[in-house]
Amino acid sequence: MSFLEALLVGLAEARRHLGQTLLSLLGLILGTASIVTVLALFGGQTKQTQQFVAEVGGAGTVIVRDREQSQQLSATELASDRMTYEDAEYLKDNATTLSAVAPGWAPTMRYQAGDRDFPGQVIGTTPDYAIINDIRPMVGRYISDLDVRRRARVLVLGWKFADSLFGHPEAALGKLVRLDGKAFTVVGVLEREVFQFAVWSGNALEYRNERAYIPITTAFALYMGTETRIAFLTLRAATPTGARAATEQVGSMLFLRHGVEDFDITPSGAGANDDAQFFLLFNFIFLVVGVISLIAGGVVIANILIASVVERVREFGTRMALGATGMQIFAQVLAQVVVIAVLGGLAGLGLGAALTGTVAILMRMPAAVTVEIATVAIATSLSVGIVAGLYPAFRAARLSPVEALRYG
């Protein structure tokens, strides 16, 4: 009897007892469904994290910040001017691995327009900032090179602040806004930026809607006198994969200028992983449930198969009398379990797809069951079935024909 024939017999058996088969497969079905759901959601989240990283600058974007200093400063640390606008100018002119350099000066200031009055972040920067961070004006324009050269008193508002100050964002264009008492003309309002990881989590990009941008030169002239210290540097590598080379070049250039490594260089979007941490727990729980269900499912299948082998001892005895070898009996039992395990895998895949769809809709998360996930699901349940079937199949194969025929 070929294995294919054994498979067909197994299929006919399973079909004849469909309800019983599904019931005995419950653990396997639930386990497979759990694993399908985890993999689909995890795939969705990974894709989403990648999208978020792209949204906040993408691969190839690098941020440089001042390193936190110790209480006791060394001589070289004291001698360093730390990060300055001049560092940014130098990198822009000399760093061959970079395509864009944006310095950032970022204090909290008091916003005033009409009777509205609140504190908020102000970013002093250059036009490159919009390129690196993929910022688009909804109305008006972003800061220009001319603004930077002329130290123009112009302001680009984030969507939320434009809305808060003037009722609706479009109305802000051309109006005056005071920052710590000094007046700026609004030349642009930015598009609203929204990114949600899940329905319960807030807008991960809301901080970008709650700020204003001014030319960095204007910021220094109005608020800083002669000092040109900056809070951060945002850099774009010349190629999407060039972040590493850029990090090395920028690191050595800044070290030479500062005489000490008093800065940290990190890839952009690193913060997105914090949100992903939350999902890891969620995934882990699902995965544990899945694995436990699979183990329980395997034990149930093994038990049912043993019972079925015991029930059919005389049948095996008869088959042996007709010439079945131990190997053929083994194959018969294993074929039966292969059939029900694949059925269980398919049912679990279906349930998992439904679960994934429900979770994706309810939590507004992108998640999809891919061919790879389906393959993993079927392979997993097949492996569980085969492992569970080995012992019962072995027991059936090892029966003595005489005792088997006499049984019952």
Partner 1 sequence: MSLINAHGITKVYRLGRVDVPALRGVDVQVEQGEYVAITGPSGSGKSTLMHILGCLDSPSDGEYHLDGADISALRGRALARIRNQKVGFVFQTFNLMPRMTIDENVALPLQYRGGFSRRERLKRARALLERLGLGDRIGHRPDELSGGERQRVAVARSLVGEPAMLLVDEPTGNLDSKAGAEVLRTFREVHNAGNTIVMVTHDMHVAAEAQRSIHIADGKIAA
* Least separation in angstroms between CB 311 and partner 1: 12
Q: Which is nearer to partner 1, 5 or 86 (CB)?
A: 5
* Least separation in angstroms between CB 396 and partner 1: 14
For residue 408, give every residue at least 6 positions away whose Cβ sits within 8 Å of its Cβ, in sequence order, or none: 313, 314
* Least separation in angstroms between CB 392 and partner 1: 19
Question: Does position 253 bind partner 1 by CB under 8 A?
Answer: no
Considering only residues 31 to 50 of the shown chain, the ones binding partner 1 according to CB under 8 A are none
* Least separation in angstroms between CB 335 and partner 1: 13
Q: Which is nearer to partner 1, 97 or 336 (CB)?
A: 336
Enter the tokens of residue 101: 């350099």
Among 16, 68, 78, 281, binds partner 1 (CB under 8 A): 16
Among 5, 134, 145, 227, binds partner 1 (CB under 8 A): 5
Phi-psi region of 271 (alpha: psi -120 to 50; beta: other; left: phi over 0): alpha
β-pair partners for 116: 113
Contact flags string 371-400 toward partner 1, x per CB under 8 A: -----------------------------x
Question: Does position 11 bind partner 1 by CB under 8 A?
Answer: no
Q: Which is nearer to partner 1, 4 or 371 (CB)?
A: 4
For residue 229, give every residue at least 6 positions away whose Cβ sits within 8 Å of its Cβ, in sequence order, or none: 81, 82, 83, 84, 105
Considering only residues 311 to 370 of the shown chain, the ones binding partner 1 according to CB under 8 A are 314-315, 317-328
DSSP symbols for 172-184: GTT-EEEETTEEE
* Least separation in angstroms between CB 9 and partner 1: 9
Q: How far is CA 43 from the centre of its chain?
A: 8
* Least separation in angstroms between CB 7 and partner 1: 14
For residue 365, give every residue at least 6 positions away whose Cβ sits within 8 Å of its Cβ, in sequence order, or none: 41, 44, 45, 48, 197, 198, 199, 359
Q: Which is nearer to partner 1, 148 or 324 (CB)?
A: 324
Q: Which is nearer to partner 1, 225 or 323 (CB)?
A: 323
Task: State the number of binding residues for partner 1 (CB under 8 A).
Answer: 23
Closest CA to 263 of 68, 93, 84, 129: 68
* Least separation in angstroms between CB 325 and partner 1: 4
Stretch that binds partner 1, among 100-108, 234-242, 292-300, 309-317 (CB under 8 A): 309-317
For residue 250, the one-letter residue type is V
Query: Strands of 263-267's sheet, edge to edge?
Result: 98-104, 232-237, 61-66, 263-267
* Least separation in angstroms between CB 8 and partner 1: 10
Q: Measure the CA–CA gap between 375 and 387, rounded to whole angstroms.
A: 18
* Least separation in angstroms between CB 16 and partner 1: 7
- Cβ count within 10 A of residue 26: 16
Crossing angle for the helix pair 371-397 and 272-311, to the nearest 10 degrees: 30
β-pair partners for 157: 189, 212
Q: Which is nearer to partner 1, 46 or 400 (CB)?
A: 400
Among 12, 79, 288, 379, binds partner 1 (CB under 8 A): 12
Among 135, 198, 287, 405, binds partner 1 (CB under 8 A): 405
- Cβ count within 10 A of residue 358: 11
Q: Measure the CA–CA gap between 92 and 246, rounded to whole angstroms.
A: 12
Contact flags string 258-297 toward partner 1, x per CB under 8 A: ----------------------------------------
Dihedral angle computed from the Cα positions of residues 143, 146, 151 and 156, in that order, rounded to the nearest 10 degrees: -10
Kindly list the residues in this chain that would bind partner 1 in the complex (CB under 8 A): 1, 5, 12-13, 16, 314-315, 317-328, 400-402, 405
